[in-house]
Amino acid sequence: MFSIKPLNSTPLLRSPNLTRHRTRCAEPRWQRVSRSVQIKAVISGSGESQNQSAATSTSLDSKETKNGSSLISSSSSDGDDGIIEVKAVVRIRKKMKEKLIDKVEDQWEYFINGVGQGIQIQLISHQIDPATNSGKIVQSNVRGWLPKPTTVSYIVEYAANFTVPSDFGSPGAVLITNLHAKEFYLLEIAIHGFKGGPVFFPANTWIHSRNDNPESRIIFNNQAHLPSQTPAGIKDLRREDLLSIRGTGKGERKQHDRIYDYAPYNDLGNPDKNEELVRPVLQGEEWPYPRRCRTGRPPTSLDPLSESRIEKPHPVYVPRDETFEEIKQDTFSAGRLKALFHNLIPSLAATLSSSDISFKCFSEIDKLYIDGVLLNGEEQGGINNLLLGKMMNQVISAGGRLLKYEIPDIIKKDRFSWLRDNEFARQTLAGVNPVNIELLKEFPIYSKLDPDVYGPPESAITKELLEKELGGMSLEKAIEEKRLFILDYHDTLLPFIKKMNSLPGRKAYASRTILFNSKTGIMRPIAIELSLPQTPSSPRNTRVYVHGHDATTNWIWKLAKAHVCANDAGIHQLVNHWLRTHACMEPFIIATHRQLSTMHPIYKLLHPHMRYTLEINALARQNLINGGGVIEASFSPGKYAMELSSAAYKNMWRFDMESLPADLVRRGMAEEDPSMPCGVKLVIDDYPYAADGLLIWSAIKEWVESYVEHYYSDPNSVTSDVELQAWWTEIKTKGHYDKRNEPWWPKLKTKEDLSGILTTIIWVASGQHAAINFGQYPFGGYVPNRPTLMRKLIPQENEPDYENFIHNPQLVFLSSLPTQLQATKVMAVQDTLSTHSPDEEYLGQVNPLHAHWTNDHEILKLFNKFSARLEEIEEIINARNKDSRLKNRSGAGVPPYELLLPSSGPGVTGRGIPNSISI
């Protein structure tokens, strides 16, 4: 049995990315068949029959049946003994929240379906009709005055009756034609009456209107077939469906399309609007990047290489089934509205001043969580001037105060934890960005950048300085015992620092941070190196800071840590979160739809892990990573954010290193050990992200290996799978075109190769994304703990600001952090990105509405084993979080590490692993 999520008041729904409206590429096989026979599609409303299409010349007769269906097959028997009665039950999802016009349209649809003029269905057999050399076909229409009610109010069922010859065979596909004027959402079709029980055709797809696209939709049953094992009767349909999904690569896509194709990131800038919004096209040798889903919009007027933008609230095209479902849309809209509320807070705090202001004391930050911002008549008048509409005023006047933030987990139990060095270090292992810390293997530390451009390659951190912080241990001993670690952003950031610091209100350094793990298992930072680009007068523009013991050096140390946190936040968001999960996963999703049939077993395996990703990425291009968007406004790199992300893709990203064990070994955080379950042993046992992640990784790996073994038992089955080989080739040569010639791409020759590739894909989409996404607000919601940018350099003794720093270090510290507007804006975004939707689907769980995804009982057993293992892992993680020996996840005021707990409820929970990158 599956682990099924129960339906609550807002049941989970999934909008899988099955097949969409076909373009007119090759003529469909079934249409060629239809021309070779006489078709009498009979509509049975009040017992009368009429021809739906004109008869064509043929040597065969089509037998009109007593229930109003027609047989389009030469194999029917002459007597009633040679036929069987079957029924198709069609499940359709309606809107949950219907307006009056929706209800009126529903009544009209019920009527049209009732008289048999709304939905046409053709059953296609696995078996070939010798007269047509295609699958046997029977046709009928949905009819009946009222749909059958279901236990879920917004799901209705219709029926279509068929009379089929007894030698028809098993139905392998249905062709469904929507004769209505608008689309509808098809959940599944169940065919009852064939020997062996019902046959299910899971759809979970929008069926376009014939007015938008005259082609019928092809839906296959839930039996998986490798290409070479495809039943003869549906082989042509398999090929035709894939051709329709790929499109022609031309023209602008329409909202009803289901075309998957590639395009570069050429829609981030808006040169036609403002020269300040010009952004480079991310492709090629200079700015390589993964490809995104093609929309086909026309170019801008000023730059023919840039695509014109569609600004909110108008939607960016994604293939129709990729769009958010109703519950997700409501959740995301609520999050955007919440962001709108939050963006007003600094304006109100500044008495609606036009200029942005800094936090002047810590109590002003606390006020965001404790009091909110109270409104008086004067302030409400100011809100009216902001033209925010009546809804905003009604919400405010009813609530009496502006919406306030939830207290982030990081300060909920210990509001001063962020000040401590051990908490700074703990977050490199158990925070929202636990994937950059590395073992320090060699000393001195050298840069790989060109010394003629960036100055001396050797770090300014010296052996003498470090040994003062090692408590009597020699540097050589500390390295030998694997006690020194580094957070190194020097080479990534230094090429961008000059450009970043030229932006108003931005000041940053390229940083290196050395951390020491004591014998008691407590890690702390012991040295921070902050570098600026060299100048003619200063070829080494670098300073090294340590935690001093007097007040002045203590405050400077806090500022140095804040600069490191700002660098960490930028790398986390632009590289580890956006690039390595969202952007790099998109080509895999596009290729899966273009090259793997929906009946392919690997498509069925990957399908849950592709949900919503293209839509959330399109929204990000529209609102977050675009020129002038939230990321540029709120993070250190500003307008150079995506250039930095591109440089990271060029210099760092490798698919073979995206597997968790490989990444840990690359960073020196684990050693290869064949005796361990995942083949690696951690250097630091109390590394919550890695320890819990390896549990999830091993469960995914076991599930994938057993799944692949089931379908690819023959030695040459992987290399002979034409769809699979085309899929892997397209990922490398189209989806990641700028990396197409890299030698590190894994080969795809054996089932072991395939299992490794699939395990990595599923891990990135599920566990990896969860670990670096859902902690954004719990850790970043308190600005001093994790500022996303710094606005001032650290004051030096020979500078005018130094006296101000000595006089009021707290004010200088706060004025170096993001402004109130910047802080509240990014907090609102982090809150939205950290929120689980009520319709989320989690690793190891299946939505009950999609329970018929496969008819293979052995696969169901394997999945149940996977699900049970994840439940065991949840118990293991909960036990670890209560283990007092594990200081990085337990202790006074320490939040437990829950980001890799498999399950979660809705909201900002800081836990849960969704199947896909869905937010």
Written as six digits, the tokens of 837 are 């939707």
Structure-token match 């480079």, residue found: 280
Q: Which helix (H) or strand (E) segment is 217 a member of?
A: strand 217-220
Closest CA to 832 of 894, 791, 777, 783: 777
Structure-token match 């009950």, residue found: 848
Crossing angle (nearest 10°) for helices 688-711 and 421-430? 0
Crossing angle (nearest 10°) for helices 641-651 and 490-501? 160
519: number of Cβ within 10 Å:
9
d(C-alpha 189, C-alpha 174), whole Å? 9
d(C-alpha 732, C-alpha 656), whole Å? 12
What pairs with residue 538 in β-bridges?
A: 535
> What are the percentages of helix, strand and coil residues in the chain, rounded to 5?
40, 15, 45
Crossing angle (nearest 10°) for helices 722-730 and 584-595? 150
Cα end-to-end span (Å), the chain: 29
Q: What one-character DSSP code corresponds to residue 203?
A: E
Q: C-alpha distances in angstroms, 827 versus 287, 564, 776, 821, 904?
A: 30, 19, 9, 10, 21
Could you list the active site residues?
577, 582, 769, 773, 919
Q: Are 512 and 529 in contact (CB under 8 A)?
A: yes
Closest CA to 580 of 747, 396, 765: 765
**Residue 653 main-chain phi, psi, to 5 deg:** -75, 130
Who's near 549: CB < 8 A, 6+ residues apart? none
Written as six digits, the tokens of 598 are 């929906």
Per-residue buried b or exposed e for 643-661, using 16+ beta carbons within 10 Å of the residue's own CB:
bbbbbbbeeebebbebbbb
d(C-alpha 449, C-alpha 416), whole Å? 38
Closest CA to 288 of 653, 615, 655: 653
DSSP H helical ranges for 191-253: 235-246
Hey, CA dihedral for 222, 227, 230, 235, is it positive or negative?
A: positive
Closest CA to 563 of 515, 485, 525, 508: 508
Tell me, letter by letter, the H, E, C secondary structure of 437-470: CEECCCCCCECCCCHHHHCCCECCCCHHHHHCCC
